[in-house]
Structure 1
Amino acid sequence: MRKKTAYDDALGDFFAQHADTSPYNAYTDRPAMLQLAGDVSGARILDVGCGAGQYAAELTARGAHVVGIEGSATLLRYARARVNGQAELRLHDLDEPLDFAADASFDGAVCALVFHHIKNREQLLGELRRVLRPGGWLLISTTHPTADWHHFGGSYFSHDWSDLAVAGGKHSLHYQRMPLETFISELLAAGFVLEQLIEPRPTAALRKIDEATYDRLHQAPSFLAVKLQHP
């Protein structure tokens, strides 16, 4: 029986309907990650936790061949409608091995704002290293540990699983907090080489539609994003 995820049903609907315009997704995380990806024309890319398909659609439009995996059936329905057959999408539990993919079968992988939801991160990173070709790249974005510390309080070094209320408290996101030390150490222990680390800020386009939010998100970080290489 398929494991139900937090993004099934109502939360999946909420995320899919807001990710196109959210200051966090549309104007902060996604532009930064796509800039890190650079030229993807002709590349075979694995979209890990493809959500409602925004990344898959954008990468495909830029000439990539995308395989997207998602644990939420709700989000996958939105993603399939968005890409309209232009990318290969499959329902897959991200805590399970990537048994559908051959060794060294991808040029790049994107894992956008999903890493902190994964319980078996060591296995996922090992599998990503396996399916990426030598010289391939991996992009990961996650919640910024100082943002979590500011919001939840307690110890900065907490590894607690926490619930972040969204949509005025109607829904919550369940994920594991981790300090920067843990985040980077897990990536390096998996055998990846860190090429670049950024703290994404919203693009100027947000300022034109919501100057107050633009200014607020330039005062404190929300996310971390890294580009890693398979040596």
Structure 2
Amino acid sequence: MPTAPEYSDEAVENDYDKFAEAYAAENETSLNNAYYTRPVILDLAGDVAGRRILDAGCGAGPIFAGLRDQGAIMTGFDSSAKMVELARKRLGPDAALRVADLSAPLPYPDGAFDDVISALVLHYLEDWSAPLAEIRRVLRPGGRLILAVNHPFIFKLLYPEADYFATVQWSEEYTFDGEKAVLTFWHRPLHAMSDAFTAAGFRTVVISEPYPAPGARERFPDELAGKTAFLSFLFFVLEVV
């Protein structure tokens, strides 16, 4: 296990266009996504029938599809053109999809959405102030932001000698459907997340560290052996103040 994070100004950029198909294929049935992130997000969203929802960082579209199946009026974007292409194949030519970047002004009018979903996106960004401000802008008064990010404690487990309270960049190598890829994240402590939400005009309604979905232990006995919880990600529900 490493004792210090590998981060620098030259850290590898997350280029999902290079491994989009492998990533999408892996996550159809993976523990982290199919049995954790997606079911938790759908559960936190609750009854979405008729709600206008923006999937900010939609990837290949599995959460978009799940919410649409429950009656939501869905819009989505991703910074990866290849991911948007895969999402369009999955969701159909009429799906409201486009290439856009959460770190730039969003191409949607003020108050256009009841909810925004941001699943495993913000932890790629150093600055949260501008993205959160844009999300708040496109939400109606009282609208919700439902998000998942790397649990900050995972960073400390991986790098026990690192400064938990610093905001630092770190990279890890993964294998998606047999293809290797490097993802680069920004760690920040929990209080920094909370402070960013408050500064952007959100009220924290839910902080969740949930169990995996039913069936996960049977499908992934080795990964979950001896574990009573699975804390790779941290989930929030925020409301516009």
Match of 2:184 in 1: 174
2:208 counterpart of 1:198: yes
Match of residue 113, structure 1, among 94, 114, 120: 120
Give the distance between the partners of 2:228 and 2:90, measured in 1 at CA: 30
Residues 114 and 218 of structure 1: CA distance in aligned 2, closer, same or farther (over 3 Å): farther
| AA matched with 1:21 | T
**Structure 1 residues 115-134: aligned runs within 5 Å:** 115-134=122-141
Give SS of 1:85's match: coil
Partner of 1:32: 40
Q: Is the 8 A contact 2:22 2:179 kept in 1?
A: no
Cα distance in 2, alignment partners of residues 204 and 128 from structure 1: 32
Amino acid at match of 2:80: S
Q: Distance in 2 between matches of 1:197 and 1:204?
A: 20
Structure 2 partner of 1:75: 83
Q: 1:184 to 1:217 in 2, by over 3 A?
A: farther
Residue identity over aligned pairs, in percent, reads 36
**Residue pair 1:95, 1:119 contacting (<8 A) in 2 also:** no
Q: Deviations over 1:179-223 (max 9, x none)?
A: 111111111110101111101321121122122223365345111
Is the Cα contact below 8 Å between 2:19 and 2:179 reproduced in 1?
no
SS of equivalent residue, structure 1 residue 213: coil
Q: Which runs of 5+ in 1 are unaligned?
A: none
Candidates 212, 227, 230, aligned match of 2:237? 227
Partner of 1:93: 101
1:207 is the counterpart of 2:211: no
Q: Secondary structure at the match of 1:24?
A: helix
Task: Tell whether the 8 Å contact from 2:142 to 2:239 is kept in structure 1 after alignment.
Answer: yes
Name whichever of 182-191 and 79-88 sits farther off.
79-88
Structure with the bigger RCO (C-alpha within 8 Å, sep 6+) is 2
Per-residue displacement from partner, 1:71-125 (whole Å, max 9, x unpaired)?
0112111111111135311001221111x21111101000001111124421111
Give the AA of the match of 1:185.
Answer: D
- Cα 1:217–1:87 shift into 2, 3 Å: farther
Change (3 A) 1:216 1:59: farther
Point out where structure 2 has 5 or more consecutive residues left out of the alignment: 1-12
| Bigger helix fraction | 1
Pairwise CA RMSD = 1.7
Q: TM-score, normalised by structure 1?
A: 0.92
- Give the aligned partner of residue 103 of structure 1: 110
Distance in 1 (CA, whole Å) between partners of 2:199 and 2:27 is: 32
1:187 and 2:194 aligned: no
Amino acid at match of 2:61: G
- Structure 1 residues 217 and 139, CA, compared in 2 at 3 Å: closer, same or farther? farther
Change (3 A) 1:221 1:50: same
CA drift of 1:152 comes to 2.7
1:144 to 142, 148, 151: 151
Cα pair 2:76 2:98 within 8 Å, conserved: yes
Partner of 2:63: 55
* Matches of 2:226 and 2:144, distance apart in 1: 32
For residues 24 and 114 of structure 1, the distance between their equivalents in structure 2, rounded to whole angstroms, comes to: 14
Give the partner amino acid of 2:25. Answer: Q
Quick one: distance in 1 between partners of 2:179 and 2:17?
16
Contact 1:71 1:92 in 2 (8 A): yes
